[in-house]
Amino acid sequence: MNSVLIINGPNLGRLGSREPEIYGSMSLADIESMLRAQAPADLTLRFEQTDDEATLMGFIHEAVDAGMGVIINPAAFTHYSYAIRDACAMVTSAGLPLIEVHLSNPHSREEFRHRSVVSGVATGVILGFGADSYRLALTQMMTLLGR
Ligand code: DQA
């Protein structure tokens, strides 16, 4: 397995200007550049963002079909989308790694953010480290891929 799909859910396209006191000042393009600089040349990274649940599920299905590892920030879908959870379950039940990431620590925020319906089917979860959550997720993904 030599490719990783990094999927970002709703409102994450606004990073940089969206509540910077919570999510930091890096844009999603900055995070993508950081990850591309981190990845070895022979590891293919695909980076996607959508505000649309069906499109997001389509990305997850593509990862299953292509045998890719997945790093996903499902954003608000984390807390209530059983459809996204079911799609993520297909990844891990196919034996592919899936890491759930969050910039903020949802457990230190409003009550509705304390529950993730995705975590139970993820390989692991990284949260609360700002943009570094993605960097840590990619580091761990490389370990899971035997690199
Ligand atoms: C988030 C946390 C979610 O609660 C929120 O809806 C987001 C971003 C994070 O990365 O901290 O959109 O997933």
Q: What pLDDT shows up at residue 116? A: 98
Q: Is 104 in the pocket of ligand 1 (CB under 6 A)?
A: yes
Q: What pLDDT shows up at residue 140? A: 98
Output Rg (C-alpha) for the chain, integer angstroms.
14
Q: Is 106 in the pocket of ligand 1 (CB under 6 A)?
A: yes
Domain that holds residue 33: 3-144
Pocket test for ligand 1, best of 104, 134, 135 (most atoms within 8 A of CB): 104
Q: What pLDDT shows up at residue 147? A: 87
Which residue in this structure is represented by tokens 């997945």? 70
* Domain CATH for 19: 3.40.50.9100
Mean pLDDT of 62-91: 98
**Cα–Cα distance for residue pair 20/32, rounded to 1 Å:** 18
pTM: 0.98
Mean pLDDT of 32-44: 97
Q: pLDDT-derived band of residue 1, with 50, 70 and 90 as boundaries?
A: confident
Mean pLDDT of 77-94: 98
In this structure, which long-range contacts are made by residues 52-55, counting pairs with CB atoms below 8 Å and at least 24 apart in sequence? 52/10, 53/77, 53/81, 53/83, 53/84
Domains in the chain, number: 1
Token pair belonging to 5: 């799909």
